[in-house]
Structure 1
Amino acid sequence: MLHETVFRTEDVPAADRLAYWAERVGQSHGPVRMGSDHADDFRATQRVLDLGAVSVRQATFQQSVIQRTPKLIRQSDPGLFQVALVVGGTGSCVWEDHEAVYRPSDLHVNDSSVSWEIRTGKDPVTVVGLEVPKAMLPLPSDMARCAVPRRLPSREGIGALVAHFLTQLIADAARYHPSDGPRLGVVLSDLVTALVAHAFESDNALRPDTHRRVLIRRIKNFILGHLHDPQLTPAVVAHAHHISVGYLHRLFATEEATVAAWIRLQRLEAARRDLTDPALQSTPICAIAARWGFPRAADFSRAFRGVYGIPPKGYRHCVVGRGTRLTANSLVD
Structure 2
Amino acid sequence: MQVLEWSTRDLAARDRFPFWHQTLSQTLVSTWPASDSPADFNASARLFDLGAVTLSAMSHSRLQVSRPAKLIRQTDPEVFQLHLVLAGDGAMTQAGREARFAVNHLLLIDSSQPWQGWRGADRGPAESLIVQFPRSSLGLRSDMIGRLVAAPFPARAGITGVLAAHLRQLTENAGDLTRQDAEALGAVTLDLVAAACAHRCEATRALAPESRHQALLSLIHHFIRQRLGDPDLNAEMIAAAHGISVRHLYKIFQEQGMSVAGWIRRCRLEGCHRDLADPLLRARPIQTIAARWGFSDAATFSRNFRAAFGMSPRDHRHRAADDAWREGTGLD
Does the aligned pair in 2 maintain the 1:148–1:199 contact within 8 Å? no
1:115-194 superposed matches below 5 A: 115-123=114-122, 124-146=125-147, 148=149, 150-194=151-195
Does the aligned pair in 1 maintain the 2:48–2:54 contact within 8 Å? yes
2: distance between equivalents of 1:25 and 1:146? Answer: 27
Offset at 1:147?
Answer: 5.0
Does the aligned pair in 1 maintain the 2:99–2:150 contact within 8 Å? no
Residue of structure 2 equivalent to 1:36: 35
RMSD, aligned α-carbons? 2.0
Q: CA offsets per residue over residues 77-98 of structure 1, 9 Å max, x none?
A: 1111111111111111122421
- Residue 40 of structure 2 aligns to a residue in which SS? coil
2: distance between equivalents of 1:168 and 1:133? Answer: 23
Does the aligned pair in 2 maintain the 1:149–1:200 contact within 8 Å? no
Identity %: 34
Of residues 150-159 and 41-50 in structure 1, the stretch that sits farther from structure 2 once superposed is 150-159
Offset at 1:151?
Answer: 0.4
Offset at 1:47?
Answer: 0.5
2: distance between equivalents of 1:119 and 1:194? Answer: 28
Does the aligned pair in 2 maintain the 1:83–1:130 contact within 8 Å? yes
Is 1:60 matched with 2:59? Answer: yes
AA partner of residue 167 (structure 1): R
Q: CA offsets per residue over residues 63-120 of structure 1, 9 Å max, x none?
A: 1000011111111111111111111111111224212211111112111112111212
Does the aligned pair in 1 maintain the 2:87–2:121 contact within 8 Å? no
Q: CA offsets per residue over residues 132-160 of structure 1, 9 Å max, x none?
A: 11222212233333554620111222211
AA partner of residue 184 (structure 2): R
Does the aligned pair in 2 maintain the 1:63–1:120 contact within 8 Å? yes
Does the aligned pair in 2 maintain the 1:91–1:102 contact within 8 Å? yes
Does the aligned pair in 1 maintain the 2:97–2:150 contact within 8 Å? no
Does the aligned pair in 2 maintain the 1:29–1:112 contact within 8 Å? no
TM-score, structure 2 normalization = 0.57
2: distance between equivalents of 1:135 and 1:63? Answer: 32
Unaligned runs of 5+ in 1: 203-333
Q: Residues 170 and 122 (structure 1 numbering): CA distance in 2 closer, same or farther, change over 3 Å?
A: closer
2: distance between equivalents of 1:167 and 1:69? Answer: 31
Structure 1 ranges of 4+ moved more than 6 A = none
Residue of structure 2 equivalent to 1:254: none
Q: Residues 174 and 32 (structure 1 numbering): CA distance in 2 closer, same or farther, change over 3 Å?
A: closer
Does the aligned pair in 2 maintain the 1:29–1:80 contact within 8 Å? no
Residue of structure 1 equivalent to 2:112: 113
Q: Residues 64 and 12 (structure 1 numbering): CA distance in 2 closer, same or farther, change over 3 Å?
A: same
1:150-299 superposed matches below 5 A: 150-201=151-202
Does the aligned pair in 2 maintain the 1:89–1:125 contact within 8 Å? yes
Offset at 1:35?
Answer: 0.7
Does the aligned pair in 2 maintain the 1:30–1:73 contact within 8 Å? no
Does the aligned pair in 1 maintain the 2:98–2:150 contact within 8 Å? no
Of residues 100-109 and 163-172 in structure 1, the stretch that sits farther from structure 2 once superposed is 100-109
Q: CA offsets per residue over residues 26-60 of structure 1, 9 Å max, x none?
A: 23442211111221232000001111121111110
Unaligned runs of 5+ in 2: 204-332
